[in-house]
């Protein structure tokens, strides 16, 4: 009787539905409906997952599915399993049939998310050529930093609006997150070492040294991965973005746990302005020591993949467990001070960039820029350069570092009264930048020789006029 009814029903349905009903009748195909709802096995479905599972089973439309696949075609579960840019095409049939339908849908989302992370790197931007190395290699970048920053921040804020508890989860799972970053960073550093030794991408390769040193310093200055410069990827697209997203998350986590705090907001806002400024000026960063001198290895790549998310965010992280004690008026004062220091830091960097872009023919502080002509040797022969001696660069040789340190202290200040911990970042940065002054000056002395000595006579102080 039932068989006849089924035949009758099937005779009125489409071929597609017939096939689905046949599949649903196969032995074991309905096990997921009758099995114990064990969470560990993925059989505990919420309402939406149950609806999705039935939709998959009978070919009904699935709500909120992405419209388009990364390959450009329309996206649906059938397409996900046959498209070569999705991951299901390489799963064997039995493997796939044993997956609960809700897992298939969620895996679809995850595989897409990973690809979207990659697509992030493809955000439009003009091509930017970095400074040519001594050996004649000119690195190429996509100048899409600020768009990347805004887009990522907007997506993250939207996520926090819909699911604020993500912020608490991030704060509470920092050890696990950092452990994952660590594994990723170590794998990358090993890969860079092996590739640098076996198949370098440029001729600028570190000469043979003890292997630990090679691992630590890195082999190549400008290796590329996924078509992107490795240091742009680790420093700008991961480390500094993680810094930004984490400080926002820590502010929201603190808010959820202890209520709104203006001081914590000042702390997060200052870092957001600082990082926004960084991304705005990202092409200028390609001209700094991190990019032109440091090789892609443990020092810089591990530093950006692990140390930056862990340590640079620490002042904000500390406030999640120890709510700020400073008053609201003090918080506003800190915010204003911080903005002034960030603006001054930007201004110093900008003056040099502006001066270089105009080849010295420009006005700084309303006066014709003054400079010292310098020459240096490169693979293409003797080259000309200029050392600015007016504006901030005429007051001290590294005033940008001074403002950077003051800005860092300002976003640590909301932790005042909670011991030394909230200030660890600023103290570390002071040490890092003072050490960097010596590294940078040694580089310039070797590069420019007598012209650098002359510059040091004209501008005698390194950081603080009259003192150092």
Among residues 253, 305, 387, 451, the one that binds ligand NDP under rule CB under 6 A: 387
| 3-class state of residue 374 by DSSP | strand
Nearer to ligand NDP, 88 or 371 (CB): 371
Q: How many CB atoms lie within 10 A of CB 76?
A: 16
Handedness of CA 282, 285, 287, 291 (dihedral sign): negative
Length, in residues, of the chain: 468
Handedness of CA 453, 454, 458, 459 (dihedral sign): negative
Among residues 192, 236, 388, 413, the one that binds ligand NDP under rule CB under 6 A: 388
CB of 290 to ligand NDP, least distance (A): 7
Among residues 75, 398, 412, 451, the one that binds ligand NDP under rule CB under 6 A: 398
CB of 192 to ligand NDP, least distance (A): 21
Query: CB–CB of 369/377 below 8 Å?
Result: no
Which of the stretches 11-19, 52-60, 224-232, 443-451 binds ligand NDP when contact is defined by CB under 6 A?
443-451
288 binds ligand NDP (CB under 6 A): yes
436 binds ligand NDP (CB under 6 A): yes
Closest residue to ligand NDP: CB criterion: 288
CA 164 – CA 166 distance, rounded (Å): 5
316 binds ligand NDP (CB under 6 A): no
CB of 143 to ligand NDP, least distance (A): 17
Distances (CA, A) of 441 to 54, 99, 289, 346, 430: 67, 60, 11, 20, 17
For 207-361, list the strands marked E by DSSP: 224-225, 228-229
Among residues 235, 316, 440, 462, the one that binds ligand NDP under rule CB under 6 A: 440
Which residues partner with 228 through β-bridges?
Answer: 225
Among residues 111, 283, 385, 430, the one that binds ligand NDP under rule CB under 6 A: 385
Among residues 66, 79, 277, 443, the one that binds ligand NDP under rule CB under 6 A: 443
345 binds ligand NDP (CB under 6 A): yes
CB of 295 to ligand NDP, least distance (A): 16
| 3-class state of residue 353 by DSSP | helix
Choose among 419, 423, 414: nearest CA to 261.
414
445 binds ligand NDP (CB under 6 A): no
Q: Counting Cβ atoms within 10 Å, is residue 82 exposed (0-12), middle (13-18) or buried (19+)?
A: exposed
Draw the binding track, 406-435, toward ligand NDP (x: CB under 6 A; -: no contact): -----------------------x------
Among residues 352, 364, 415, 426, the one that binds ligand NDP under rule CB under 6 A: 352
Choose among 136, 129, 403: nearest CA to 286.
129
Nearer to ligand NDP, 283 or 385 (CB): 385
CB of 278 to ligand NDP, least distance (A): 8
Q: CB neighbours of 462 closer than 8 A, spacing ≥ 6?
A: 396, 397, 398, 437, 441, 468
Choose among 363, 349, 355, 354: nearest CA to 398.
349
Among residues 447, 454, 456, 461, the one that binds ligand NDP under rule CB under 6 A: 447
Which of the stretches 11-19, 87-95, 213-221, 396-404 binds ligand NDP when contact is defined by CB under 6 A?
396-404
Residues contacting ligand NDP: total by CB under 6 A: 19
Among residues 296, 335, 404, 423, the one that binds ligand NDP under rule CB under 6 A: 404
Distances (CA, A) of 137 to 134, 162, 315, 403: 8, 46, 39, 33
CB of 132 to ligand NDP, least distance (A): 11
Nearer to ligand NDP, 132 or 147 (CB): 132
Which of the stretches 17-25, 319-327, 358-366, 395-403 binds ligand NDP when contact is defined by CB under 6 A?
395-403
CA 411 – CA 415 distance, rounded (Å): 9
For 321-401, list the strands marked E by DSSP: 363-364, 367-368, 371-378, 381-388
Which of the stretches 79-87, 178-186, 204-212, 384-392 binds ligand NDP when contact is defined by CB under 6 A?
384-392
277 binds ligand NDP (CB under 6 A): no
What is the DSSP annotation of 283-308? HHHTTSHHHHTS-SSIIIIIIIIIII
393 binds ligand NDP (CB under 6 A): yes
| Site of interaction with ligand NDP (CB under 6 A) | 288-289, 345, 349, 352, 385, 387-388, 393, 398, 400-401, 404, 429, 436, 440, 443-444, 447
């Amino acid at each position: 009787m039932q068989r006849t009814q089924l035949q009758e029903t099937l005779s009125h349905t489409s071929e597609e539905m017939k096939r689905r009903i046949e599949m649903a009748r196969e032995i074991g195909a309905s096990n997921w409906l009758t099995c114990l709802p064990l969470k560990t096995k993925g059989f505990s479905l919420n309402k939406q997952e149950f609806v999705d599972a039935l939709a998959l089973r009978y070919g009904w439309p699935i709500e909120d599915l992405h419209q388009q696949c990364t390959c450009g075609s329309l996206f649906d579960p059938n397409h996900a399993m046959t498209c070569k840019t999705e991951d299901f095409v390489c799963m064997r049939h039995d493997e796939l049939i044993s997956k609960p339908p809700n897992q298939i849908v969620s895996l679809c989302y995850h595989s897409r998310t990973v690809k979207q992370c990659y697509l992030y790197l493809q955000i439009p931007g003009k091509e930017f050529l970095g400074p040519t190395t001594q050996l004649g290699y000119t690195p190429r970048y996509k100048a899409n930093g600020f768009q990347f920053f805004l887009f990522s921040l907007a997506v993250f804020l939207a996520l926090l609006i819909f699911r604020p508890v993500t912020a608490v989860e991030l704060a509470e799972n920092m050890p696990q997150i950092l452990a994952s970053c660590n594994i990723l960073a170590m794998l990358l550093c090993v890969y860079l070492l092996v590739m640098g030794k076996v198949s370098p991408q440029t001729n600028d390769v570190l000469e043979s040294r003890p292997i630990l040193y090679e691992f630590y310093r890195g082999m190549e200055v400008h290796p590329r991965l996924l078509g992107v410069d490795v240091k742009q990827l680790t420093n700008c697209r991961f480390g500094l973005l993680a810094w930004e997203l984490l400080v926002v998350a820590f502010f929201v986590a603190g808010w959820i746990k202890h209520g709104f705090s203006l001081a914590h907001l000042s702390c997060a806002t200052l870092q957001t302005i600082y990082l926004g400024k960084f991304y705005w000026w990202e092409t200028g960063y390609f001209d700094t020591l991190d990019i032109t001198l440091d090789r892609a290895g443990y020092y810089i790549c591990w530093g950006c993949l692990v140390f930056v998310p862990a340590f640079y965010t620490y002042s904000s992280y500390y406030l999640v467990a120890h709510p700020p004690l400073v008053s609201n008026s003090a918080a506003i004062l800190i915010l204003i001070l911080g903005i002034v220091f960030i603006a001054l830091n930007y201004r110093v960097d900008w003056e040099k960039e502006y001066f270089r872009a105009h080849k010295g023919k420009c006005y700084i502080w309303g006066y014709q820029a003054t400079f010292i002509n310098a020459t240096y040797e490169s693979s293409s022969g003797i080259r000309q350069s200029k050392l600015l001696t007016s504006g901030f660069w005429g007051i001290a040789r590294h005033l940008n570092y001074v403002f950077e340190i003051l800005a860092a202290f300002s976003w640590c200040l909301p932790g005042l009264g909670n011991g030394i911990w909230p200030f660890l970042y600023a103290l570390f940065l002071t040490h890092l930048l003072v050490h960097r002054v010596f590294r940078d000056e040694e580089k310039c002395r070797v590069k420019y020789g007598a012209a650098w000595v002359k510059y040091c006579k004209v501008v005698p102080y390194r950081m603080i006029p009259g003192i150092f």
